[in-house]
A and B are shown apart, each in its own frame.
Chain A
Amino acid sequence: MNENKGEIKKMMIILSKGTLENVYAAFVLANGARMEGIEAELFFTFFGLESIHKKKLTHLHVATVGNPAMHIPTMLGGLPGVEALATTMMKKEMEKIDMPDVAEFLDILSASGVRMWACKLAMDMFHYKKEDLYEGVEEVITVGDFYKQSAGEGTHMLFI
């Protein structure tokens, strides 16, 4: 810590959720790190895998149930179509502020040098194969591999 004055050198971001708002949080943080000259790596586990699954990544939704900040009553949030509607509205707002969609964002991250890993345990659980995943994902690794990958001074870790 003293040698580099607490400067952040590398961000290790674990994405465990597949809701749009969480996926964007992880992507913006990873991209933002690269923009500042900080290394960034993403480790996708559990539902976070949806954001790199080729067939699923274009169909992510915002959570309308169990999300008080949406200001939609839970009963309404669960009605058919509400989640899709809220997602469409949010995507429109995101486009207005120049936010890329998930597929384009993955390309941006990949081109920016963000390294991406998939969690072996979660892959096995969901019966996903490496071929199901976005090409920018380097490898399916264990949690132990991920810790090894995180070695080095100035590494910070974030769980989303």
Chain B
Amino acid sequence: MEKVIAGKTIAVNEEGYLTDFKQWDKSIADELAAEAEISLSPRHWEVLSYLQTEYKNEVPLSIRKIGKSGVVDIKEFYQLFPKAPLKTATKIAGIPKPASCI
């Protein structure tokens, strides 16, 4: 599937997650965040960058790992990305939705 995000045609899956991280840039993150009613602050960017690093290192993401990341604790993570934080944050970060149950 394709979707126009921030004026660019981007490949996404049926849930709206980018399928090619190379197409991601900050303007895309801003627009995806706006769709989730989030306006990105410097704290959001720190968390997004952490998620992208973990993805590049092929570390499976979970809420527990986020809590131990030293970047953000679970409480703040839920405040930054209310409603399904891991799903929302990974979508904005342009990486796949984690398949974790924890």
Q: Chain A interface (Cβ within 8 Å of chain B)?
A: 28, 31-32, 34-37, 98-100, 104, 108, 111-113
Contacts and interface: CB of A to CB of B under 8 A. Distances in A.
Given A35-B84, A98-B62, A104-B64, 20 more contacts: A28-B102, A31-B63, A31-B102, A32-B101, A34-B78, A35-B63, A35-B85, A35-B87, A36-B87, A37-B83, A98-B60, A98-B64, A99-B102, A108-B74, A111-B73, A111-B75, A111-B78, A112-B63, A112-B74, A113-B78
13 contacts: A28-B101, A28-B102, A31-B102, A32-B101, A34-B78, A35-B87, A37-B84, A98-B100, A100-B64, A100-B102, A104-B64, A111-B73, A111-B75
Contacts of B75: 111-112
A111 to B, nearest CB: 4
A111 B67 contact: yes
